[in-house]
Chains A and B, each alone.
Chain A
Amino acid sequence: MKSFQIAIVTVALCIAGCSPTSDNTSDATPSGQGESRGTIGVSLLTLQNPFFQVIGDNITAEAAKHNYDVVVLSADDDIVKQGNHVKDFIVQNASAIVLSPCKSDAIGPIIKEANAAGIPVFTVDIPCRLPDVEIVSQIATDNYGGGREAATGMIEAFDGKGGDVAILHFAQAESCQLRVQGFLDGINEHNEKTEKKINVVATLEGGGKREIGGKATEDILQSNPNLAGIFAINDPSALGARAALEKAGVADQVVIIGFDGQPEGKQAIKEGKIYADPIQFPAKMGVEIVKAIVANSKGEEVESEILIPTYLYRQADGLKDPELQ
């Protein structure tokens, strides 16, 4: 019985082994139109978030201009899955690997595998800062700069008056830490120049989500009934804050600054519910990644960190925006 199984397996392997072995040497100069230059493997944190979808789409479109094929996969927040993606890219001899790591530390051994195989690795949005890992370039939004723009927006909305502001944070993400740092630095610099100071009275976890952001806002209002402004590190928590303010009937006296510029955020800005957002440009990020891959393939210098500046998107921009209703 067992021998039959062994026989099947042996025959199968023989068939596979006897498959046509062509021994071709090509000496074509590779720049032919239509001939694939290679495959770029992309494993993103998730494709459910439109932010990453836009990045993926733009990588594919831009890479096609240089005859690269692109495989975009979603890791679904699972580091194990992302590890398998990278291993498969290595097996398929990818020309380059692009990652937005699920976990900044656990991704280390995985990137080292790609390093050992001699494949250049690029990260987008979420970095890996481990010292013994080689990453050609990390492309992200200038979160610190965005934080400073948020401060500018808040100061502009306050129009010379002072007041109390609160921050809705998501401390476990490095990007949010930078945003808040930028915001605080901007506010502190403003305070040095004026009598009417803006005081940060509370920093609570908004969880990056509506429900938690809303709950946190309610808690802040309890202890600070004269709250004049809220800075939230992303749009969902900003919208959660707005909902809580409307429920408490104080929506008109509190300025909200969000971050990101997702469609729902932009809509809220147009309607005046959020004052302004420093918005990100995932499309630009996709294009910049491909530019970095191309430069690397040409042997040119590539900056180890490429920061895409944000833009402070206000109601005026929302009214002009053709993509909103």
Chain B
Amino acid sequence: MQLIFKYGTSFFLVLLCIVFSWLTLTPQDAFDASAAERIANQISQTTETSPSETTVLIAVRDNEAERSYAALLEKKLKAQGIEQITTATTAREGRQLLNQLQAENRALQTVAATQVTGSWLLFADLATDYPLHQHAKILVTSSRLWPNFLKYKNVSNVLNQISVIAIIAIGMTFVIIAGGIDLSVGSLIAFCSVITALLIRDYGGGDEASTLWLLIACGVGIGACGVIGAFSGGMVVGLDIPPFIVTLAMMLVASGLAFICSNGYAIPEVPEAFTWLGRGAAIKIGMFGGSAIEIPNAVCLTLVLYVIAHIVMSRTVLGRYVYAVGDNRQAAWLSGVPVKRVLMFTYILSGLLAGVGGVVLSSTFRSGEPTFGIMYELYVIAAVVVGGTSLTGGRGTVVGTLIGALLIGVINNGMNLLHVTAYWQKVILGLVILGAVLLDRLARSVPKTSSRMRQQESPKIETNGPNKSAGDNATKNA
């Protein structure tokens, strides 16, 4: 029981995955060699005519996996002596083939279909439409029970969907652990998106832009967000204005600038190559069930950034400084920690990573939009908090943030697959975030006896209430 509490959010995440897997169990078509073998055998065994006179129509959808399955099946059938095989990848094609067979007075014996193609209305009224083919049998590929939730495509989707939030959450984790907050990240996504697309369209040649120019444009966009981050940091550090207010103001400014620069319109004039980051998948590892397993580039980028962030947070001096500044700024300052520089670093990092998120999003949709990123700051903060980072500063991990982002992504995806209506989804997401944080809090307050006594003795800063001893930044509780 204690272990369950100790690993709070992670346990919750695994539990959710199991639940969603169970609830989304559906028969899935099998497209591998053994499935093709089985169908080929079944066709040759059940057909009433001799192999050389048997006509088979293979009906599959027009995608890579099913086309290879069709080719495989054709090979297996030919090995059984069946030569008269045609393949249709759309109902239209299917109708043309049926017409052709009818015209040549060749009756169709079997249709080898999938779950989806077997339901084509083309095959629903064979008796009336094609009297010649009315005795054709429709065989559907053998199916395996497997959760839609755990389909490779779905897992890949979820990871891809959380990429933007996860990347930005790295910066937010640093900022919050150091005792601040950054509400401007959502608008910075839009700002970077517009600046990057604008540079590509107006100075890089639009659709014809070279890869070098794409990189330059992204660099400038991300850099501009870093500058805004630096501005926020400067206000917080230099003028001692609460981060909540500064970043709220910059959120409005950045959003306004994004709309001004784009005149409110989308900027889609970017080349196809630009979608490499958001849509490409450079790493392919093997095949499964007929389709290639690819890792989306955005997911690779996210993982790389997390590894770097984790190393910085846990193994470098800078990381220790961030924790120190967040935990007790006075003590850190007295100990010689360069507090102002550390804080500036966190805000600049948050700005830069928001820019990276903006680039990934624009890359996914091949467009610069001033309307991107609306409300994203809240989801990012939710991911950070659910991941165990305290809003009052001084505690948290980057790995925890990744788990928090995964949790939010898994909930959204699971609810979509279960067809939960949009209004209920909001309620459930809110409650689950609350639940995850509560579970995490419970985990912290289930102590061994000796440490409880230790807690009551020392005036250590606990996170359950207003931070009295640190003195500054009432906004830590924001």
A and B interact: yes
Contact of A25 among B7, B42, B95 (CB under 8 A): B42
Q: Does A201 contact B (CB under 8 A)?
A: no
Closest residue of chain A to B29 (Cβ to Cβ) is A93
Interface string of B295-307 (1 = CB under 8 A from A): 0000000000000
Q: Smallest CB–CB gap between B339 and chain A, Å?
A: 32
Q: Does A202 contact B (CB under 8 A)?
A: no
Interface string of A293-317 (1 = CB under 8 A from B): 0101111110000000000000000
**B61 contacts A117, C-beta separation under 8 Å:** yes
Interface string of A59-88 (1 = CB under 8 A from B): 000000010000101101111100111011
Contact of B364 among A19, A20, A38, A83 (CB under 8 A): A83
Q: Smallest CB–CB gap between B447 and chain A, Å?
A: 17
Question: How far, in whole Å, are A87 and B160 apart by their CA atoms in the complex?
Answer: 11
Q: Smallest CB–CB gap between B404 and chain A, Å?
A: 15
Give chain A's interface residue range (CB within 8 Å of chain B): 35 or more
Interface string of A78-105 (1 = CB under 8 A from B): 1110011101101111010000000101
Q: Smallest CB–CB gap between B190 and chain A, Å?
A: 12
Q: Given known contacts A38-B116, A74-B422, is B38 in contact with A16 (CB within 8 Å)?
A: no
Which A residues lie within 8 Å of B473 (CB)?
none
Which A residues lie within 8 Å of B120 (CB)?
297-299
Q: Given known contacts A16-B18, A297-B121, A300-B95, is B62 in contact with A118 (CB within 8 Å)?
A: yes
Q: Does B441 contact A (CB under 8 A)?
A: no
Which B residues lie within 8 Å of A5 (CB)?
7, 10
**A88 contacts B140, C-beta separation under 8 Å:** no
Question: How far, in whole Å, are A85 and B420 apart by their CA atoms in the complex?
Answer: 12
Q: Does B174 contact A (CB under 8 A)?
A: no
Which B residues lie within 8 Å of A245 (CB)?
none
**B7 contacts A4, C-beta separation under 8 Å:** yes
**B119 contacts A90, C-beta separation under 8 Å:** no
Q: Smallest CB–CB gap between B294 and chain A, Å?
A: 13
Total contacting residues, chain B, CB less than 8 A = 80
**B66 contacts A106, C-beta separation under 8 Å:** no
Q: Does B84 contact A (CB under 8 A)?
A: no
Contact of A20 among B137, B145, B369 (CB under 8 A): B145
Q: Smallest CB–CB gap between A187 and chain B, Å?
A: 28
Q: Does A325 contact B (CB under 8 A)?
A: no
Closest residue of chain B to A294 (Cβ to Cβ) is B121
Which A residues lie within 8 Å of B98 (CB)?
299
From A27-35, A151-159, A262-270, give the one contacting chain B: A27-35
Q: Smallest CB–CB gap between B196 and chain A, Å?
A: 14
**B138 contacts A28, C-beta separation under 8 Å:** yes
Question: How far, in whole Å, are A66 and B120 apart by their CA atoms in the complex?
Answer: 11
Q: Does A324 contact B (CB under 8 A)?
A: no
Q: Smallest CB–CB gap between B213 and chain A, Å?
A: 20
Question: How far, in whole Å, are A153 and B299 apart by their CA atoms in the complex?
Answer: 57
**B266 contacts A106, C-beta separation under 8 Å:** yes
Q: Smallest CB–CB gap between A14 and chain B, Å?
A: 11
Which of A28, A106, A108, A110 is the most central at the interface, judged by chain B CB atoms within 10 Å of its CB?
Answer: A106
**B11 contacts A118, C-beta separation under 8 Å:** no
Q: Does B154 contact A (CB under 8 A)?
A: yes
Question: How far, in whole Å, are A34 and B50 apart by their CA atoms in the complex?
Answer: 36
Which B residues lie within 8 Å of A22 (CB)?
27, 143-145
Q: Smallest CB–CB gap between B87 and chain A, Å?
A: 13
Q: Given known contacts A106-B268, A109-B364, is B25 in contact with A12 (CB within 8 Å)?
A: no
**A299 contacts B416, C-beta separation under 8 Å:** no
Contact of B140 among A26, A47, A77, A83 (CB under 8 A): A26
Q: Does B173 contact A (CB under 8 A)?
A: no
Closest residue of chain A to B267 (Cβ to Cβ) is A105
Contact of A91 among B17, B39, B64, B154 (CB under 8 A): B154
Question: How far, in whole Å, are A91 and B148 apart by their CA atoms in the complex?
Answer: 7
Q: Given known contacts A25-B140, A88-B417, A299-B95, is B365 in contact with A116 (CB within 8 Å)?
A: no
Interface string of B119-163 (1 = CB under 8 A from A): 111111110000000000111111111111011011001000100
**B417 contacts A84, C-beta separation under 8 Å:** no
Chain A 18-54 residues near chain B, CB threshold 8 A: 19-31, 37-38, 47
**A76 contacts B422, C-beta separation under 8 Å:** yes
Q: Smallest CB–CB gap between B406 and chain A, Å?
A: 12
Q: Smallest CB–CB gap between B132 and chain A, Å?
A: 16
Q: Does A172 contact B (CB under 8 A)?
A: yes
Closest residue of chain A to B150 (Cβ to Cβ) is A16
Contact of B413 among A23, A27, A80, A88 (CB under 8 A): A88
Q: Given known contacts A106-B366, A118-B62, is B91 in contact with A296 (CB within 8 Å)?
A: yes
Q: Does A15 contact B (CB under 8 A)?
A: yes
Q: Does B14 contact A (CB under 8 A)?
A: yes
Question: How far, in whole Å, are A8 and B64 apart by their CA atoms in the complex?
Answer: 35
Q: Does B94 contact A (CB under 8 A)?
A: yes
Q: Smallest CB–CB gap between B107 and chain A, Å?
A: 16
Question: How far, in whole Å, are A156 and B18 apart by their CA atoms in the complex?
Answer: 67
Q: Smallest CB–CB gap between A194 and chain B, Å?
A: 39
**A24 contacts B419, C-beta separation under 8 Å:** no
Which A residues lie within 8 Å of B27 (CB)?
22, 24
**A105 contacts B121, C-beta separation under 8 Å:** no
Which A residues lie within 8 Å of B25 (CB)?
19
**B367 contacts A25, C-beta separation under 8 Å:** no
Question: How far, in whole Å, are A119 and B424 apart by their CA atoms in the complex?
Answer: 28
Which of A73, A78, A87, A120 is the most central at the interface, judged by chain B CB atoms within 10 Å of its CB?
Answer: A87
Chain B 190-248 residues near chain A, CB threshold 8 A: none
Closest residue of chain B to A37 (Cβ to Cβ) is B119
Which B residues lie within 8 Å of A29 (CB)?
123, 126, 137-138
Q: Given known contacts A22-B145, A27-B139, is B3 in contact with A106 (CB within 8 Å)?
A: no
Question: How far, in whole Å, are A22 and B27 apart by their CA atoms in the complex?
Answer: 8
Question: How far, in whole Å, are A78 and B422 apart by their CA atoms in the complex?
Answer: 13
**B268 contacts A30, C-beta separation under 8 Å:** no
Which A residues lie within 8 Å of B367 (CB)?
103, 105-106
Question: How far, in whole Å, are A303 and B27 apart by their CA atoms in the complex?
Answer: 34
Question: How far, in whole Å, are A47 and B146 apart by their CA atoms in the complex?
Answer: 33
Which A residues lie within 8 Å of B62 (CB)?
118
Closest residue of chain A to B265 (Cβ to Cβ) is A172
Chain A 210-269 residues near chain B, CB threshold 8 A: none
Q: Given known contacts A19-B147, A25-B139, A88-B413, is B275 in contact with A109 (CB within 8 Å)?
A: yes
**B125 contacts A118, C-beta separation under 8 Å:** no
Closest residue of chain B to A31 (Cβ to Cβ) is B124
A-B contact pairs, 30 of them (CB 8 A): A8-B11, A12-B14, A15-B18, A19-B21, A19-B145, A21-B146, A22-B145, A24-B142, A27-B138, A29-B123, A30-B138, A76-B422, A79-B369, A83-B365, A84-B412, A90-B153, A91-B148, A92-B148, A92-B417, A93-B115, A95-B119, A103-B365, A103-B369, A105-B366, A105-B367, A109-B365, A296-B91, A296-B92, A297-B91, A299-B90
Instruction: Taking A27-B140, A80-B372, A95-B119 as given, write out 14 further A-B residue pairs in contact, using a Cβ cutoff of 8 Å, ordered by the A residue number.
Output: A8-B14, A19-B25, A25-B39, A25-B139, A29-B138, A30-B119, A31-B125, A38-B116, A71-B419, A80-B361, A90-B153, A297-B119, A298-B121, A299-B122
